[in-house]
Structure 1
């Protein structure tokens, strides 16, 4: 395939380019390079690279591709809250525009990086794709509205697929620690303390960032009639955890660390346990390569090798919100 990837220099995108190249695909990456200098390890480059805001992509940029994999976004709840209007401008409006351009360019498949956060405060446990959506943030709302609008573009020649990804974690060349698993492990290494900001009871479905990249490729290669215009939860039923369970796994790796419930966010309203039966049914051969234990062991090993420190935990390199706050002029 000839693939156009947005956000290829991001936390998941770095894995996606690596896997696509390993699979023999031709890849063009498009990224504003907003987080330049945040890399942890060398990244595999695409065959061709556009340093460009997704809002500035033109139809001529998309000529000749078989698939668009759209990852670029203001990428989590705290970042989305920094400027909700900008979040909708980039996450929703630019995504819908990109889908229209892809359709105009004759690209048959469009994969959109969504999120299980669209379920927000779940009305029940074990939510599937047909359950009510309950977004609590601009980030989650932007994902829902994009799904709705892009779905209306689907026809015999244009096939969108919406990946509602579980909460990402794990090692990446573009490491982030503003994600629950990575954050708790990082705080244990930085302070000897596992700082849980809620009461620890909220549920989160978890998935290694490299497995999300693998899911993109599997869905790009799947037959059209299997995945056409579907929203699909991406993860595994066995990888739903309460935040306090993640803290327990951190203590297994770092027994000297203590657990501290800081209460910063009070009772976290984001609480959702998710089912992934549809993914298993549509792609029975697709299995996650990581679980929470193996993914955390790898990340812990990498952090120790890199000498991860308090300065790393508190600085902007691995906390996207801190970097973004200093570079808002590039996107506003």
Structure 2
């Protein structure tokens, strides 16, 4: 099949391109390359590549493709809060427009990279797809709004689906350390301190970034009727953890590191434990390849191999927010002082 991937140069996107090509698909990528120069290791490029803002994607760009996999976004809560207006413009408005253009171009399937952050401060634990949504950030709101509007486009010729990804972590050639698991492990290596910004109690569903990419591939191959216009949590029931549990795992890998509660976040309101029964029901053959322990062991080995240090932790390379602040002009925004 011919697959159009937005955000193909991102943390998850580089895994996805590799997996799609390994499966024999023809891949077109579109990415603004905001984080050019942040790569950690070489990665597989798509067959065709557009280096441009996803807001500039045309119907002709999409014509002839069987599926659009839309990953491009201002990619987490702190980055979204940097400029909520641009976040909604890119994450919501562009996502809806790409879906409309895909439908006009005759693309049969549209897979949207959503987030379990839409549950926000969960009204209960073990949240399912039909439970209440309580977005606490512009990033999370943009994901809900996109689901709502794109669902109106679904019909016999156009089949969208919404992958509500758990919190990503793990090794990628485009490494990020502005994610809770990667950050705790990175701080332990850099400073011999496991720096927890909250009180450690919030729950998070966690999933390896490569398993998210594998889920997109599974949704590409899934029978249309299984996933048509459905929002599906992506992760595993056994992969819900409190932040303090993650810190304990880091301590097992680096016993000399001390746990330090830094207090920046305080009582973090983002607290949600998620159920993934629907994913297991719709795609029973799809299984996660990583547990938190195996994913952390892999990342730890990679960090040691690369000599990850205090300099790396404090550089712009692995923290998207820092790089984004310097490159806001590429999004049409003048950087604030």
Q: 1:26-84 CA deviation, whole Å, 9 max, x = no partner?
A: 00000010100000000101001000100001101011000000000000000000000
Aligned match of 1:288:
288
Partner residue, 1:23: 23
Tell me what 1:48 maps to: 48
Alignment of 1:97-176 (within 5 A): 97-176=97-176
- Answering whether residue 233 of structure 2 is matched by residue 238 of structure 1, we say no
Structure 1 distance, partners of 2:314, 2:152, is 43
Q: TM-score, normalising length from structure 2? A: 0.98
Query: Considering only aligned residues, what root-mean-square deviation do their CA atoms show, in Å?
Result: 0.4
Q: Secondary structure at the match of 2:265?
A: coil
Q: Per-residue CA shift, 1:196-222, capped at 9, x if unaligned? A: 000000000000000000000100110
Residue 71 of structure 1 is matched in structure 2 by 71
Give the whole-Å Cα distance in 2 for the aligned partners of 1:263 and 1:75. Answer: 23
Structure 1 equivalent of residue 335 of structure 2: none
Q: Deviation per CA, 1:123-161: give whole Å up to 9, x if none.
A: 000000000000000000000000000000000000000
Distance in 1 separating the partners of 2:264 and 2:3: 42
TM-score, normalised relative to structure 1: 1.00
Alignment partners' CA distance in 2, 1:157 and 1:311: 51
State the alpha-carbon separation in 2 of the partners of residues 29 and 98 from structure 1.
14
Question: Offset at 1:307?
Answer: 0.3
How many residue pairs get aligned? The number is 332
**Equivalences for 1:54-65 in 2 at 5 Å?**
54-65=54-65
The answer for the alignment partner of 2:200 in structure 1 is 200
Could you say what secondary structure the match of 2:263 adopts?
coil
Q: Distance in 2 between matches of 1:48 and 1:60?
A: 14
Measure the CA separation in 2 of the matches of 1:187 and 1:300: 12
Look up the match of 1:306.
306
What runs of 5+ residues in structure 1 fail to find an aligned partner? none
Secondary structure of 2:264's counterpart equals coil
Unaligned runs of 5+ in 2: 333-337
User: Residue in 2 aligned with 1:221?
Assistant: 221
Query: Matched residues in 1 for 2:204 and 2:263: separation?
Result: 18
CA distance in 2, matches of 1:115, 1:80: 13
Distance 1:180 1:22 in 2: 30
How far apart in 1 are the matches of 2:306 and 2:207?
23
Distance 1:139 1:45 in 2: 28
- Residue of structure 1 in register with 2:87 after alignment: 87
Aligned to 1:8: 8
Alignment of 1:32-43 (within 5 A): 32-43=32-43
Give the secondary-structure state (helix, strand or coil) at the position aligned to 1:262: strand
CA distance in 2, matches of 1:273, 1:142: 21
Q: CA separation in 1, counterparts of 2:291 and 2:120?
A: 23
Counterpart of 2:276? 276
Aligned mates of 1:21, 1:97 — CA distance in 2: 27
Q: 1-side partners of 2:157 and 2:250: how far apart?
A: 47
Give me the whole-angstrom Cα distance separating, in 1, the residues matched to 2:264 and 2:59: 45
C-alpha separation in 2, matches of 1:314 and 1:272? 29
Q: C-alpha deviations, 1:100-124, integer Å up to 9, x for none? A: 0000000000000000000000000
